[in-house]
Amino acid sequence: MNAYVDPDLCIGCTQCAGLCPAVFHMEGVLAVAEPGPIPPEEVPQAVDAANACPVSAIRIEE
Ligand code: F3S
């Protein structure tokens, strides 16, 4: 699974980086997802981050 942040939607609330810092970090005011597959042990946190995003900017895809 891979994570993506839509930079046109992200409002920089930082929740994703707080909930799943292994996958999401802030670059300036926007969140960026690490490229490549999400480590299996981080998938639940990445899904939590996607669900927590107030503007649904995060996609988790196979
Ligand atoms: Fe942006 Fe949503 Fe993360 S607004 S900082 S992608 S929780």
Q: What is the pLDDT of residues 15-39, one digit of tens each?
A: 999 999 999 999 999 999 999 999 9
Both tokens assigned to 41? 């042990």
In angstroms, what is the span from residue 43 Cα to ligand 1's centroid?
17
Domain containing residue 24: CATH number: 3.30.70.20
ipTM: 0.98
Please state the atom number of ligand 1 nearest to the C-alpha of residue 19.
7
Both tokens assigned to 27? 């670059």
Rounded alpha-carbon distances, angstroms, from residue 46 to 8, 11: 20, 18
In angstroms, what is the span from residue 61 Cα to ligand 1's centroid?
17
Output the CA angle 49-4-9, nearest 5 degrees: 80
Domain that holds residue 47: 2-61
**58-61 and 30-33 strand pairing:** unpaired
Q: Residue 39, by phi and psi: left (phi above 0), alpha (psi -120 to 50) or beta?
A: beta
| pLDDT for position 49 | 98
The closest residue, in CA terms, to atom 1 on ligand 1 is: 10
